[in-house]
Amino acid sequence: MNSRLKWRPRLTDGTAPVLVVLAVLLVALAFAGPAYSEPAGYLALLKRAAPLVILAIGQYLVIVSGGFDLSVGSLVTAEVVIAARLINGDDGNTVWVVALLLGFGVLVGLVNGLITTRLLVPSFIVTLGMLLVLDGAVFLWTGGAPRGALSESFRVPGRGSLEIPVLGQVPWSVLILLVVLVGAVLFMRGGTGRTLIAVGDNENAVRLAGGRVDRLRLLAFVSSGLLAALAAILLAGFAGVSAQVGRGLEFRAITAVVLGGVLLGGGRGSVVAAAAGALSLEALFSLLKLVGVSGALESAVQGVIIIAAVAYAAHGAGLRQKLRIRKPAPALP
């Protein structure tokens, strides 16, 4: 079906619609707010969205291989609280604490992955358990209120920006996001990435073909943990210490991935689409605020998106063909 005789962008089935949605939202933003008439407005949006996009990329790796990672939200909270406590306002602590945070993310991912692959507990349950464990541990350690403070240098990746000739002030988080995204795209194009998708599609086939299913799964969870740690560093840098920072982020990331047309249960979807889904979600929330819709509606909108996007994905293939016959452009406004 998919001839690879000549190079073409790897746009999987679900990618085009979310890119259209994203484009529509970005144009709508330009009409809704004066701030979006210049690049700075969009860069500010990207900066706000960067942690969620990074989380969505991690979540994508797990979902496309047939799992779930519900622990990322509480992992983000735990990381931020740990960072504040260990740095304690001292710039000299920044470097080793960042290394430790990334290491902790890897460790949590490793535990999630090992329990899923070795003990054969469904990842939904493992990571739900991890969510509760981390929540409880953070509460026990802090008594519910974070202590300590972040250093100025720790906050640079999330808050600072770099002067780039044409674009002006480009936030560090946007640059970090670009690196992660390019890395993820290259990874998914490579043999390992393709096998990871195959694991989500048909685990047994991969195993019979000699693929190391457990190792790939483990890799997905570890990457998700590592990316959650990175997102936590950006979030903490962006806004400072808070014990609420990760609340609900796991569902936001899953919504983003689903919005990107990635099939829950794995085996289909592209990482670019997942990232675009996260950006669309953030753009949608910004748009709702710009036009004066209450923030209380956010979770309702998120719920509708999950259901609608999964329904669309389930019936999408046939639907898209029909639409294509009638007219070339998708029916999205």
Partner 1 sequence: MNRKIAVVAVAGVLAMAGCSSDLPGQGAGNASSSKQPTAKSEFFDQPEYDRQLKFRTATAVNLDGGGGQAQPWEQALDPKLVDTAKFAKPGGGHHLCFSNAAVNNPWRQVGFKTMQEEVKQHPEITKFSVLDAAGKDDKQISDIQSFASQGCSALIVSPNTTATLTPAVEAACKTGVPVIVFDRGVKTSCPVTFIHPIGGFAFGADGAEFLKEKVPSGGKVLALRILPGVDVLEQRWAAANQIFSGSGLKVVGVEFTDGDAAKTKSIVSTYLQREGKIDGIWMDAGATAVAAVEAFQDAGAALPAIVGEDQQDFLRMWSKEKLTAVAPTYPTYQWRTPVIAALRILTGKQVPQEWVLPQPRITQDNLKDFIKTDMPPLHYAMCGCDSMPGYPAPWK
Residue ranges in contact with partner 1 by CB under 8 A: 21, 24-25, 28, 31-36, 41, 44, 48, 89, 139, 143-149, 159, 235, 238-242, 244-245, 247, 284, 286-287, 289-296, 304-305, 308, 311-312, 315, 318-319, 322, 331-333
In whole angstroms, how close is the CB of 174 to partner 1 at the nearest point? 13
Task: Identify which of residues 45 and 272 has a Cβ nearer to partner 1 in the complex.
Answer: 45
**88 dihedral zone (left: phi>0; alpha: psi -120 to 50; beta):** left
Task: Identify which of residues 21 and 185 has a Cβ nearer to partner 1 in the complex.
Answer: 21
In whole angstroms, how close is the CB of 287 to partner 1 at the nearest point? 6
What is the C-alpha R_g of the chain? 20
Q: Is the Cα torsion angle 144, 149, 154, 156 positive or negative in sign? A: positive
| Per-position b or e across 207-220, b if 16+ CB within 10 A of its CB | eeeebebbebbbbb
The CA-based diameter of the chain, rounded to the nearest angstrom, is: 63
Task: Identify which of residues 295 and 328 has a Cβ nearer to partner 1 in the complex.
Answer: 295
Residue with tokens 């960042």: 98
In whole angstroms, how close is the CB of 145 to partner 1 at the nearest point? 4
- Angle at which helix 191-201 crosses helix 39-64, to 10 degrees, equals 60
Per DSSP, helices labelled H in 169-297 are 172-189, 191-201, 203-208, 213-239, 249-259, 271-290
Task: Identify which of residues 145 and 166 has a Cβ nearer to partner 1 in the complex.
Answer: 145
In whole angstroms, how close is the CB of 331 to partner 1 at the nearest point? 6
In whole angstroms, how close is the CB of 16 to partner 1 at the nearest point? 13
Task: Identify which of residues 57 and 76 has a Cβ nearer to partner 1 in the complex.
Answer: 76
